[in-house]
Amino acid sequence: MARSKSAETRTEASDSVDSQAAGVSSGPTFVVEASLAAVVTPKLQTWLEDLSGAIPRVMEKQDGEAVHDLRVAIRRIRSLLRVVRPVFGRFHVTRIRQQMQRVASATGQLRDEEVLAETLDALALEPALRAGMGTWLQIRQQRERELREGVIRILSARVLDMPRQQLQALLILPPAPGRDKEAYRFAKRVVIEAQRRIEALRTADVADVQGMHDLRIAYKRLRYAVEALSPVLPPELRAWGQVATTFQKILGNLHDHDVAMDTLRAAAELSESTRVGVMQALQDRRVYYAQRYLAEVGFEVASGAVTPETTESRAGEETEKASKSGS
């Protein structure tokens, strides 16, 4: 069964660096020209501004990308704090990440409904099939409205004010001295763990729904780790950030169709003929994205490496849109 974004958020919240990966000595060589705090602070400031800007957009309910942008900002901040935890201290980082978790979970359920609607809207369905989904779609739309109101209530309670203030304090106050060596070592372990996870999952069959989902999450973690540390990473590892973004987008589309099919299987309001017809359309689109993924993997195996240039030539417009993914 495909996992929703809300379930995915709960999984990400409990992750920690693998203890075995923590002991390895191989991995990326950082280009160290400044303290890690000085490197990540501008990114944290930018993403904090993105978060602050997305909140009123969600509450106004007029912007179709607002929930997505809010989630991306939260994910980027939480991912950065995880990667550079020693810079700011475990206590502060853990508290901020936990405080943001409530909003991440609530918006995950809402984003599930948004993506489901977008996935179904993109299908080239016969009019009869669309008409057959009428009552069920109305139920889903009502659920989306209720979830949106729930998110607005949470944001109206200003639950993000405290973590935002704490982040601002971290940006102003200097980090404790002598933490750079530990911070770089910890960041290195995070990147190594993400790379190892991808290597372990790359053999999953494209028909394996859970395997493809897990691989997507692994690419997402590598993407955000590289994004946070890009100023001090060597060029070959920065290139992997683009690779991870491309694969994450393709596998994300695959996952969206898997979730949609799971949802339709449980839709008691649909007639069997409508269910079968829509499921077939979803399966056809899943095959398309599976072929896209296999083409990328096949090229990578043949050449021994993937560069941003080669992935862009194959991924086309998906790569351009990938910077907005993460949903």
DSSP string, 44-77: HHHHHHHHHHHHHHHHHT--TTHHHHHHHHHHHH
In contact, 216 and 202? CB cutoff 8 Å: no
Closest CA to 240 of 325, 300, 316: 300
pLDDT score, position 182: 77
Buried b (16+ CB within 10 A) or exposed e, 63-88: eeebbbbbbbbbbbbbbbbbbbbbbb
Report pLDDT for 181. 77
Domain architecture of the chain: domains with CATH: 5-322 (1.40.20.10)
What is residue 100's DSSP assignment? H
d(CA 7, CA 85): 24
Please report the pLDDT score of residue 242 as a whole number: 87
DSSP string, 239-284: HHHHHHHHHHHHHHHHHHHHHHHHHHHT-TTS-HHHHHHHHHHHHH
pLDDT at res. 309: 38
The confidence score (pLDDT) of residue 9 equals 54
pTM of the model: 0.78
Q: Which regions in the chain score pLDDT beneath 50? A: 10-25, 300-327
Read off the tokens for 1: 């069964």
Neighbours of 134 (CB within 10 A): 11
Q: Which two tokens stand for residue 286?
A: 């899943």
What pLDDT is recorded for position 319? Answer: 36
SS (H, E, C) 5-47: HHHHHHHHHCCCCCCCHHHCCCCCCCCCCCCHHHHHHHHHHHH
